[in-house]
Amino acid sequence: MSAPAKATFESLRGMLTERRRERIDFVVRRRMRTLSIVVEDLRDPHNQAAVLRTAEGLGLLTAHVIDTPDQNGRTETFEPARGVTKDADKWLSVRRHRDLGPCVEELKAQGFAIYCGALDPQAVNLYDLDVLRPCAFVFGNEHRGISPKLRAKSDRLFVIPMRGFVESFNVSVAAGICLAHAVRARELAGVESDLAAEEREALREAYERKSLGKRVLRAAENLAAETESPDDPLVSPGG
C-alpha cells in the first residue's frame, strides 16, 4: 500500500463504529490458520454455501475448493447460494483448485494432515484423530464421496460415529461436526488462535478495509490523489 493510500485508510478507520472494531478484534483473536476444510466437487449451491458459512463461523482462515469439470464438461461449478452464505466467503480466504494435486501438495507442504471422510472399513473414529496438529478435513461429492485419487493421498480416513439408522450426515452437517470438534479440542488445550502477532495485525487491517467497503476507500483515495496532485500542467507558469 502506498504512503498516501495508507494515510487515507488510517483517516477512514474512524468511520468504523466502536462495536464494529470490537467485533473485528474478537474475530481476529480467534482465527485458525492450521485448521482447514477441503471440498471436492460439491455441486449443490446450498451445500457449497453452508460449508463456507460453517467454516467462517467456526473461525477458519482458509477453505479449499477442488472444482473439476462436471459430467457435462462444465467448469467453475462452485457457485454458493448467496442467501445461504450470508457473506461468509467475504471473510474467508477461499482457495480454488482445478485439480486435487495442487491442493494436496499445498497443504502437505504447510505440514497439514489430510483427513478424508469416507465410509470405509479402514476409517477411524473422528474422535481418535489428532486435531491439535495442522489438519484439513476433506469432504467429497454429495453422491460419490471423495474420489479414489484423493482417497489415496489422505493421511487418515475417518467416519463420524452414528447413533441412528442412517449411515451418514449431509456434507454441511458433517463439516460442522468435525470442525466444531477440532475447535473445541484446541480451546481445551488452551489454543484460541494460532496466528502470529503480525498475521493478526494484517488480518485486522484487511477486515477493516472490507468493512469500510471498496467504494468508500476508492473515493477517498481518489480525493487524496487529486488534493496532492501538482498544478494543472495545461496552465503555464505565470499565467
**Does pLDDT of 33 surpass 60?**
yes
Local structure of 39: helix, strand or coil = strand
pTM for the full model?
0.85
Degrees to nearest 5, angle at CA 66 with 74 and 90: 100
The average pLDDT across 167-188 equals: 96
The per-residue pLDDT for 73 is 80
The average pLDDT across 31-59 equals: 96
Average pLDDT, the chain: 88
Helix (H) or strand (E) holding 66: strand 62-66
Cα–Cα separations (whole angstroms), residue 223 to 15, 112, 197, 231: 17, 45, 33, 15
Architecture of domain 34-188: 3-Layer(aba) Sandwich (3.40)
208: cell is 477493516
Residue-wise over 82-119: b if at least 16 C-beta within 10 A, else e? eebbeebbebbebbebeebeebbeebeeeebbbbbbbe
Encode pLDDT of 66-106 as tens digits. 999 888 888 788 899 888 888 888 999 999 999 999 999 99
Q: What percent of the chain has pLDDT over 70?
A: 85
- The string of DSSP codes covering 178-199 is HHHHHHHHHHHTT-S----HHH
Q: Which residue has the higher pLDDT, 210 or 130?
A: 130
- Separation CA 109–CA 121 (nearest Å): 28
Helix axis angle for 214-228 and 197-212, nearest 10°, is 90
Torsion of CA 228, 234, 236, 239, to 10 degrees: -90
232: cell is 494543472
Evaluate whether 4 touches 222 at the Cβ level (below 8 Å). Answer: no
